[in-house]
Homo-oligomer: A and B are copies of this chain.
Amino acid sequence: MTLPESRDFSYLYSEETKARKPSPLKTCIHLFSDPNIIFLGGGLPLSDYFPWEDLEVNSPKPPFPNGIGAPITGENVMQSHITKLEKLHEGDIPLARSLQYGLSQGQPELLNFLREHNKLIHDMHYEDWDVLATAGNTNAWESTLRVFCNRGDVILAEAHSFSSSLAAAQAQGVTTFPVPIDENGIIPEKLEKILDNWTEGAKKPKLLYTIPTGQNPTGTSLDDDRKHEIYRIAQKHDFLIIEDEPYYFLQMGEYIKDLTIRKNKSTNVKLVHDEFLKSLAKTFLSIDTEGRVIRMDSFSKVLAPGTRLGWITASKKLLKPYLSLHEMTIQAPSGFSQSLISGLLNRWGQKGYLDWLLGLRHEYTIKRDNAIDALYEYVPQNPAFTINPPIAGMFFTVNIDASVHPEFATTYKSNPAAVEQHLYEKVIESGLLVVPGAWFITEGNTVPAQPASSTENNTPNEIFFRGTYAAVSAEKLREGLKRLGDMLHKEFQV
């Protein structure tokens, strides 16, 4: 079956993208590999002068029988040897190439692995999609803003969203308009109502920025059904969907409170690959029929943040302005990162990488369960406190009805934000850091005449704190959450 081609969305580009002239030096770069041409066109240093001859690397070996955090010794070691000039393994990127200029899209061996990986995860419905290497999703999101947005433009984001992503937009003079969410993510009906009632004459949003899986900060995950609805609304109101998915592979499934049931289920945690793939949430990319979705993936949460490497998947048309921007910003991700990640992934193979992701999910499931167990144990059992066990990601939240605080009406003058700030100070005093929900509020403060539905709030006194179970050991986690519970008991006198 021949798939259709993607649509042309270039009318959504920023002035900057429209004005960006390709470097004339790029018009002759094809002559670099022409054997009949002596190429004195660019300032490329000889690789003879790169002071790294080779890298020998010890990594864990699939299928990681002792778990992915196990010591890397004996039979569990996979050795890689990346050299300057040779390819000792298919998929290796010799340092002479990765450390040279060129190939802003990314090194072919790495891109090929990512394309094959993508095919396992997404069910693509248009022909001309591709991938582009990025310096991680922070970089990819900032580039997205540059590619599409002018000062004064409006974008949509979950009503609570990742503060750095919001701040990047706001600094560029882009208004972030909040979309109501609940425990299953964006509420499509509310999104549609907002857009149907959008003030005549006001700029309509160009982009929806969403973290569908294990959302930061709420920990929620977007229903597959809702994704279809949101995609339909995107078509109706003509905006692009930017799916920022660093936590996509940390899909632990539902939290099971009953230990016996959990234990029975946990024997199934190590699913076979087909079941694992089937269990993953449907992606916006898999729904997209016309190239309206731009997906940002990152190795930060599944390999290591400091790799500063990720990739965008989108139509080839939409990747072009990113490539032109990259040529004037990062040029390309670090060659060391590309050689080391390509060396690792191509040795592991697609199957080995799935083993790794399965192992990682297993670890995070244990962490999540530990955290939620402790929360149920220590947080006051009172309707004013809601624990939200996440099914994906690194974050949990504890939601609190601030009006239940004994001094709500007096000391805090019925202002939930004041209670939140007070509790934040108290929790630090107790020896724990979790962060207040106010830090993540999406504020669309410059859109004229917002439709009423956007500001409606069924729980006006609700505040929350975000914590992570990713960063510390099980013992520390439990101790930390006990401190949280103790503080709440004392403060709320419950």
Contact = CB atoms under 8 A, between A and B. Distances in A.
A163 B433 CA distance: 48
Nearest to A142: B329
Contacts of A20: 167, 171
B332 A308 contact: yes
A68 interface: yes
Contacts of A329: 138-139, 142, 329
Contact of A477 (B40, B301, B356): B40
A44 B171 CA distance: 25
Question: Chain A: interface secondary structure?
Answer: mixed
Contact of A49 (B36, B40, B363, B472): B363
A277 B56 CA distance: 35
Interface string A31-42: 100001111111
A99 B59 CA distance: 14
A376 interface: no
Contact of A432 (B38, B44, B306, B331): B38
A328 B43 contact: no
Contacts of A24: 163, 435, 439
A121 interface: no
A112 interface: no
Contact of A44 (B99, B151, B333, B470): B470
A60 interface: yes
A340 B336 contact: yes
Among the interface residues A336, A360, A479, which one has the most CB atoms of the partner chain B within 10 A?
A: A336
A328 B468 contact: no
Nearest to A141: B328
A135 B138 contact: no
A256 to B, nearest CB: 22
A23 B168 CA distance: 9
A370 B16 CA distance: 43
Interface size class for chain A?
35 or more
A308 B99 CA distance: 9
Contact of A100 (B23, B51, B305): B305
Contact of A21 (B38, B170, B338, B433): B170
Given A21-B171, A170-B21, A139 B37 contact: no
B99 A31 contact: no
Contacts of A101: 300, 305-306
B431 A38 contact: yes
A292 to B, nearest CB: 25
A476 B163 contact: no
Contact of A428 (B37, B139, B306, B480): B37
B334 A41 contact: no
A450 interface: no
A254 to B, nearest CB: 21
Interface of A: 15-17, 19-25, 28, 31, 36-60, 68-69, 72, 77, 95, 98-101, 135-136, 138-139, 142, 151, 163-164, 167-168, 170-173, 216, 300-301, 303-309, 327-338, 340, 344, 356, 360, 363, 394-395, 428, 431-435, 439, 467-472, 476-477, 479-480, 483
Given A21-B171, A38-B480, A46-B69, 4 more contacts: A22-B167, A41-B435, A49-B363, A167-B328
3 tightest A-B contacts by CB?
Answer: A306-B335, A334-B334, A99-B306
